[in-house]
Chains A and B, each alone.
Chain A
Amino acid sequence: MRTPLTGALAAGLLTAGAVCVPPLRAQVPAPAVSKPISTYSVPRTPWGDPDLQGVWSSDEEAGVPFERPRGQTKAKVDGTELEALLEQREHQRAGTAPTIGGVTGAGPVHWYENWGRKSARTSLVIDPVDGHVPPLTPEAQRRQERRPRAGGSFGAGPFDQPDDFSLYDRCITRGLPSVMFPAIYNNNTRIVQAPGSIAFTYEMIHETRVIPLDDRPFPSDRIRGYLGEARARWEGDTLVVETRNFSEKTNYRGAGATLRLVERFRRVHKGLRYQVTVDDRHTFTRPWTAALNLSPGTGLFEYACHEGNYAMRNMLSAARAAEAGRKAQ
């Protein structure tokens, strides 16, 4: 990614070249403009903002590991290497699917909406360039030791009350930025724009964020939420959404109330490029960034998850049955 610093440096050098050696100006390589110029121009709303509206899916990135597997050095592969990689992924998924989440499995793979996708990327993390999430700070490691229950229904319990399950189990939220990354179904985000605001509806759990685009300041840090407080702005044709003021109940890879996210959405020829920078000096030893190529989705279905969430009742009664079994022994 080109940073503002290298951009400024390049511009400075070009200017210096232009001023100091005018006869050579035509021969001075100009990296910024020597790239093929794209003929693509982003569509715009009637009021002139880049138009990001529609339903976008992360399905095409399914199967790409969040972090790059050890031994893999390339960010993207092609040719026979890609064929081998896709075959390996498919075997791995088919082999583990019957027991995902434990011996009982998560259902037959023909229920998986995102089966058989063929992304050539080797990790969703793009910064650091090695594709790995930076280590937790010692402070965050100590914090994690104090809250071992956060694995939700996939953890070891105990499950005594609804609060012992994750926000995702409870149909409250899959959380930010997790909700953008591919799961086995419901990987769609709907974007709707109006002058001065933009709204995101996530199919999984079905929450909506309405984000101001009008330079208003962030509210007091005493106002906190599961999805934080967000403000958006345009940087050229890129939408930049900054989110902070997360609730203490947030737990994204160990980050909670001090989490700060900067998401970037940019229209590209056939879809949207999404990037999120995760910044929390109380949790990670440095900020890091993950990216997704989103493609046009097939529409959003209702996901009134809480209303039919019999699993909550069933998991609690299962825990009581296990408890009675232990007492009887």
Chain B
Amino acid sequence: MRSRLFGVVAGVAFAVAVAAVPVIAHHSFAAEFDAKKPVKLRGTVTKMEWINPHSWIHIDVKTPDGKVEQWMVEGGAPNALLRRGWNKNSLLPGTEIFVEGFQAKDGALRANGRDITFPDGKKLFVGSSGIGAPDERPEK
């Protein structure tokens, strides 16, 4: 039975969701990826798909037992990446990247790219200095 309390709680939850929605992304990564399955992937780019609403970066990841897993990493919106300085040469096949994110809830080899860096720690964004983009996380 749906109680009145549930209705009130749902109403409040809705109000919070509505208040938050206008400033965030097109859809929730949390609905797609599992917060309980954090992944750290070091892989080699095989393909970058510049598709809307979000780009997909394909990488080959070597597992400790020598196998190669093909992962897809959900990236930023193509329009935003273009305006932030990316171009077709930013992630050429063969580039090694380090991805921190969360795996798909359905167990597929998909992850969101919460943090993407080159192995030397440089941020992926090309030309990010001097445009006001802070590091993604506070200094550790």
Residue in contact with A304 in the complex, picked from B17, B18, B26, B52, CB distance below 8 Å = B52
Contacts of B104 in A (CB 8 A): 314, 317-318
* A98, A111, A204, A298 interface centre (most CB from chain B within 10 Å): A111
Contacts of B21 in A (CB 8 A): 151-152, 154, 166, 168
Residue in contact with B11 in the complex, picked from A102, A111, A145, CB distance below 8 Å = A145
A148 adjacent to B79 (CB under 8 Å): no
Q: Tell me if B13 is interfacial: C-beta within 8 Å of chain A.
A: yes
Q: Report B71-126 residues with CB < 8 Å from chain A CB.
A: 74-84, 101-102, 104-108, 110, 112-116, 123-125
Residue in contact with B25 in the complex, picked from A103, A165, A184, A253, CB distance below 8 Å = A184
How far apart are the CA atoms of A90 and B109 in the complex, in Å? Answer: 34
B52 adjacent to A303 (CB under 8 Å): yes
Q: Report A300-329 residues with CB < 8 Å from chain B CB.
A: 301-305, 307-312, 314-315, 317-322
A301 and B24 in contact (CB under 8 A), knowing A314-B32, A317-B106?
A: no
- Chain A nearest CB, measured from B135 CB (Å): 8
How far apart are the CA atoms of A272 and B51 in the complex, in Å? Answer: 31
B53 adjacent to A303 (CB under 8 Å): yes
A155 and B17 in contact (CB under 8 A), knowing A103-B35, A107-B75, A116-B131?
A: yes
A178 adjacent to B115 (CB under 8 Å): no
B11 adjacent to A144 (CB under 8 Å): yes
Chain A residue at smallest Cβ distance from B116: A108
B28 adjacent to A102 (CB under 8 Å): yes
Chain A residue at smallest Cβ distance from B15: A144
Size range of the chain B interface in the assembly: 35 or more
B106 adjacent to A116 (CB under 8 Å): no
Q: Tell me if B67 is interfacial: C-beta within 8 Å of chain A.
A: no
A104 adjacent to B114 (CB under 8 Å): yes
Dominant SS among interface residues on chain B: mixed
- Chain A nearest CB, measured from B34 CB (Å): 8
Q: Tell me if A84 is interfacial: C-beta within 8 Å of chain B.
A: no
A102 adjacent to B75 (CB under 8 Å): no
Contacts of B124 in A (CB 8 A): 108, 110
B13 adjacent to A184 (CB under 8 Å): no
**Count of A-B contacts judged by CB separation below 8 Å:** 224
B30 adjacent to A309 (CB under 8 Å): no
A106 adjacent to B25 (CB under 8 Å): yes
B110 adjacent to A94 (CB under 8 Å): no
B11 adjacent to A318 (CB under 8 Å): no
Chain B residue at smallest Cβ distance from A181: B22
A151 adjacent to B133 (CB under 8 Å): no
Contacts of B65 in A (CB 8 A): none
Chain A residue at smallest Cβ distance from B51: A308
Chain A residue at smallest Cβ distance from B131: A116
A108 adjacent to B114 (CB under 8 Å): yes
- Chain B nearest CB, measured from A147 CB (Å): 8
Q: Tell me if A226 is interfacial: C-beta within 8 Å of chain B.
A: no
B53 adjacent to A305 (CB under 8 Å): yes
- Chain A nearest CB, measured from B80 CB (Å): 3
Q: Tell me if A203 is interfacial: C-beta within 8 Å of chain B.
A: yes
How far apart are the CA atoms of A272 and B124 in the complex, in Å? Answer: 35
Contacts of B10 in A (CB 8 A): 145, 148
A100 and B102 in contact (CB under 8 A), knowing A107-B114, A144-B15, A145-B10?
A: no
Apart from the given pairs A104-B114, A112-B84, A308-B52, 19 other A-B contacts in the complex at a CB distance below 8 Å: A94-B134, A94-B138, A98-B137, A100-B25, A101-B30, A103-B102, A104-B32, A111-B80, A112-B80, A148-B7, A151-B21, A154-B30, A154-B31, A155-B14, A185-B80, A204-B26, A253-B18, A254-B18, A318-B31
